[in-house]
Amino acid sequence: MYQGKVVFNIKEADNIYLLGIEAPKKILKSFKPGQFLKIKIDKRFDPLIPRPFSIHAIDENILYILYQVVGKGTKALSEIKKGEIIEFLGPLGKPFPKIKNYIICAGGIGIAGFGFLLQKSVNKKDFYPPEKIFYGAKTKNELVRLPFLKKFGIPIKLSTDDGSKGYKGLITDMVEKELKKNPQIILACGPQPMLKKIAELGEKYKVKTYLVMETFLACGIGFCMGCVIPSKKGNYLHLCIDGPTFLAEEIDLGFLS
């Protein structure tokens, strides 16, 4: 576990926060887009297990975490104040694949991990930038970090379920329209129903599709064998060491709701 000092914990929307953690540069330099870390909320026993979070961005010695309050752990994280010390473990998992000519599909807080990818793709050396970003949420208030995302110059297509901003409807509808015109590799992160639909679209239009998965994750380093993802071969993949990004064709999508 490493230690870092909280430099801000800002509310971006009703239940979405941006956390900034100051940590040594030599530690942060080891992180790559697509990897994650585990944060120990504090020294209390409840919640006991450190929570996993995507890396949203890194600037010098500041690590950015974009998260949504969905349970006891993230609720406790939202109450942490500037100046507090927290512990984190990482980097964990494998980076995003180094691919060209692809689009990003992000549903809700699924946008969190793609900010760091955009940062690292600027020089087109370590990672390549996407052709377009498709970003959807329930309402316009949940479309967060847009000024940050727009500064990279990548076209962003927005959708909301209620039509309050961008296309009214599901972001997967917009992705399908894009694939009809120009089939491209897909890199997607978001709710399970969205990922299942994206996988179906990838198969329909015969494009390689990468899904960033989530599941219960305890140790984060492969010891507990708790974060299993069923594969089409009949065995199991482990999110913490095999993922969190998987080829859709490799996993059994039946477990997605």
| 192 marked among binding-site residues | no
- Residue type at position 247: L
Residue 35, SS3? Answer: coil
| 52 marked among binding-site residues | yes
The whole-angstrom separation of Cα 125 and Cα 128 is 7
| 189 marked among binding-site residues | no
The whole-angstrom separation of Cα 116 and Cα 65 is 10
- The single-letter DSSP state of residue 10 is E
| Of 71, 53, 82, the residue nearest 15 (C-alpha) | 71
* H, E, C per residue of 62-129: EEEEEEECCCHHHHHHHCCCCCCEEEEEEEECCCCCCCCCEEEEEEHHHHCCHHHHHHHCCCCCCCCC
Give the tokens for residue 162.
Answer: 């209620």
| 219 marked among binding-site residues | yes
| 105 marked among binding-site residues | no
| 121 marked among binding-site residues | no
| 68 marked among binding-site residues | yes
| 210 marked among binding-site residues | no
- Residue type at position 57: A
| 73 marked among binding-site residues | yes
| 67 marked among binding-site residues | yes
| 139 marked among binding-site residues | no
Q: Which residues are annotated as a binding site for FAD?
A: 51-54, 66-68, 73-74
Residue ranges of the annotated binding site are: 51-54, 66-68, 73-74, 219, 224, 227, 240
**Which residue positions form the known binding site for [2Fe-2S] cluster?**
219, 224, 227, 240
